[in-house]
Amino acid sequence: MKSPLESIKQLIKKTWSKAPSMASRDLLELFHTSPRLDAVRLIASKCASTELYLYDKVEYRKNKNKAEIIENHEIYNLLENPCPADKDLTGWTIRYFVFACYKLVGEAYLLKVRDKRNKIIALQPIAPSWVVQQPTVNNKYWEIYPFGTAGGNTIVVPVEDVISFKDIDLNDPYGRGRGTSEAIGDEIQSDEYASKYAKNLFFNDATPSAIIYAPNGDKETADQIKKTWMQKMAGMFHAKEPMVLTGEGAKFEKISQSPTELDFVESRKFLRDNANEHFRIPPEIMGILENSNRSTIDSAFYLLNKNVLSDDLRMFERVINNQLLWEDYDKERKLVLHHENTIEEDVEQKLRIVNEGLARGALTVNDWRSAMGYEPDEKGGDVYLRSFGAVDVPFNSEPIELPEEEPTEQIELPESNEDKEFESKKKEYQSRYKVLNSDADKERHRKIWKTFDARATSIEEPFRKSMIKAFTKQNELVNDAIKEAVKNNKDVGTEIENLFDNKMDEALKHTLAGAFINGLTVGAEHGQELLNKKGYKEISDNVRRLFNLWVDNYGLELCRDMNNTTKKKLRKVLAEAVFEGDSIPDKTKKLIEASDGMFEDDKKWRATMIARTESCSTMNAGANELYKSEGINYKEWISVQDDRTRDSHLMMDGVVVPITDKFEVPAFGNTEGGALSYPGDPAGPAGQTINCRCTEAPFVMM
């Protein structure tokens, strides 16, 4: 006996199929001719440009931040080169096709092409208007007419050989799809008619601008009046000149524009805005900036990624996972395809929240590490960081009196030359500058630096990952340049020199830009707390503009210095890699091995050093810009008091200078001195900035 579920399933199975509606072909054609469907073009383009990665499904669901990308799999080759026989149909083009058709008519199809071993070798796009019959209970095949029923031969395809994307029809969930564009069909048609009307009006709408009445005249009189009028009144020299008509009953009447003509432009704007709103596209994305500012423009990209693109990308993932990955490559469903996260603000917001919790002592260090996807610190991670002198005291606790320590005999060591030099320069600085070095100042410095260090540590990872990404790409470019140089008997050193040009500097700046802005922003927020700003205060547009200028100037200069260092290291390791008499294959192999080895070391060690340096530097730069915008007149250098701090920086602890002046950091030992706007200032010498952990604080002169 059949179960109720099986009985119902049999009853609702389709026994017939429906051909595509006429609207399908019309909408697909209008996509190329109507500007009101530009929103679909934008959605399809941005979705197609978003990378798709393969993960272990269990790892991804457990912690998507820690799940590692599976870099090698044959499905990548298929998605990147889906049509080997048609080179113009790239992976990007195929995905653009799918997203556009899905938004327009609610359907998109890809045909799986197999070889004799039943392996998929291509994915061919199938226009929704070509599919005349879908599988039914009586017919297990797709029936496809390429280019329409009159344009090609019939293709009969098994169910499993078509990937079908469908936006469900609520009246017929087992039938064809229905696109969201259908809902604004009237607006699209109205705009099309309005466009044609404008075209005809531009050429000639047969409506005169004015009429001259001559009741007693004949055709000859009318022609003479018209000729006389044009002779006397036409041309710029007759502007505002009066015209007198003779003859009984003669008069002049200006024909005004009708309300339809006067509202014509606004009507088309309304249709444009209505179409964009239908697809949930913010006006700034389409270049409509009449009522926009920097804040609304930034928000527009967030809204586009969050409310529009993410939904369509999830749709594509679900279909490709179900109908391609799991059907043909992973029967056990252990893997899953996911798009990269395009919502950068989600990461920034999460970082802001956990940083705030860490700084205020509401989260432990391990809470923070877990939230950001890092392994817990087993040795010292289960601690709270209390900000600026906050101390937990139970409400009923008694003061604790510590026993007095027995005085210990102090052994006096002879003073070294370095100690003498340090004390001498320290006295000189105390005579030149205001220096805050009382016990209370030192305790305040310690608390400020502790919170600064926690925040700087929290933003190291974006710098490190960005540098690893940059080194990986540079490694590929260098290896290609080596192969090309050896093959064409060119000087490898010269080719490497040419490779590291302005474009390479700009590329590195682009890679690091997000980390730079994040560091500057966190620094400004740290500065707000030092100024005792209660609650969250939005960083002004002016300060954000200064951040962008900082990246374009100092950020670019930093990237140029980093690339110069990379170039020098490459010249050295490549020069040591080959010997006279090496064959071309051996020479190429040795050079590439040397290049790979250097970049691997850079990704392990140099990326970390850069991350530590730039996290502190950008935080101090962001705070410095905030203090200027808030009208602070003085700034104070704060150094961490330990044996890792440079002697010259220990000497600077507590030094106060005007906000617009630079800190004069002294030369000490073999380290060159320099003038720095803030600790870690990239304009200063490398010996004073690399791995610098100092910070600055605002100071109000009493």
- The predicted-structure confidence for 271-287, as pLDDT tens digits, reads as follows 777 777 888 888 878 77
Cα of 504 vs its chain's centroid, Å: 20
Q: 664 vs 65, 140, 168, 648, 676, CA distance in Å?
A: 43, 82, 69, 10, 7
pLDDT of residue 26: 75
**Can you give the pTM of this predicted structure?**
0.47
pLDDT of residue 494: 86
Cβ count within 10 A of residue 335: 19
Buried b (16+ CB within 10 A) or exposed e, 393-405: eeeeeeeeeeeee
Cα torsion 350, 356, 359, 363 to 10°: value is -60
- On the question of pLDDT at 60 being above 60, the answer is yes
pLDDT winner (highest mean) among 214-223, 261-270, 655-664: 655-664
pLDDT of residue 356: 65
The CA distance from 321 to 329, in Å, is 10
pLDDT band at residue 388 using 50, 70 and 90 as cut-offs: very low
Q: Are 106 and 169 in contact (CB under 8 A)?
A: yes
Rg over CA atoms, the chain: 36
**Residue 158: closest CA among 327, 333, 320, 325:** 327
Which tokens sit at 606? 């140099």
Burial of residue 442, with CB atoms counted within 10 A of its CB: 0-12 exposed, 13-18 middle, 19 or more buried = middle
Q: Are 646 and 671 in contact (CB under 8 A)?
A: yes
Which contiguous run of DSSP H or E holds residue 543? Answer: helix 541-550
The CA distance from 12 to 426, in Å, is 90
Which tokens sit at 269? 């704007």
The CA distance from 702 to 437, in Å, is 16
* Chain segment 285-320, per-residue pLDDT in tens: 877 776 766 667 767 777 778 888 888 999 999 999
Which tokens sit at 125? 């796009």
- On the question of pLDDT at 398 being above 50, the answer is no
Q: Which residue has the tokens 């087993």?
A: 378
In sign, the C-alpha dihedral spanning 473, 479, 483, 489 is positive
Phi, psi of 393 (to 5 degrees): -130, 120
Cα of 203 vs its chain's centroid, Å: 45
pLDDT band at residue 333 using 50, 70 and 90 as cut-offs: very high
Q: 345 vs 63, 81, 285, 315, CA distance in Å?
A: 19, 32, 17, 22
- On the question of pLDDT at 148 being above 80, the answer is no
**Terminal CA-to-CA distance of the chain, rounded, Å?**
93
- On the question of pLDDT at 691 being above 50, the answer is yes
Mean pLDDT, the chain, rounded, equals 79
* Chain segment 529-563, per-residue pLDDT in tens: 888 775 445 677 777 788 888 888 888 888 999 99
* Chain segment 63-121, per-residue pLDDT in tens: 877 788 998 999 999 999 999 988 889 999 999 999 999 998 899 999 999 998 999 99
pLDDT band at residue 380 using 50, 70 and 90 as cut-offs: low
Burial of residue 520, with CB atoms counted within 10 A of its CB: 0-12 exposed, 13-18 middle, 19 or more buried = buried
pLDDT of residue 240: 66
Q: 49 vs 45, 121, 315, 575, 648, CA distance in Å?
A: 6, 23, 15, 40, 50
- Interstrand relation of 52-56 and 210-213 (parallel, antiparallel or unpaired): unpaired
Q: Are 533 and 626 in contact (CB under 8 A)?
A: no
Cα torsion 491, 492, 497, 500 to 10°: value is 150
- On the question of pLDDT at 265 being above 80, the answer is no
Residue 379: beta bridge partners?
A: none
Which tokens sit at 197? 């009307």
pLDDT of residue 468: 93
The CA distance from 550 to 266, in Å, is 41
pLDDT of residue 67: 85
Which contiguous run of DSSP H or E holds residue 472? Answer: helix 460-487
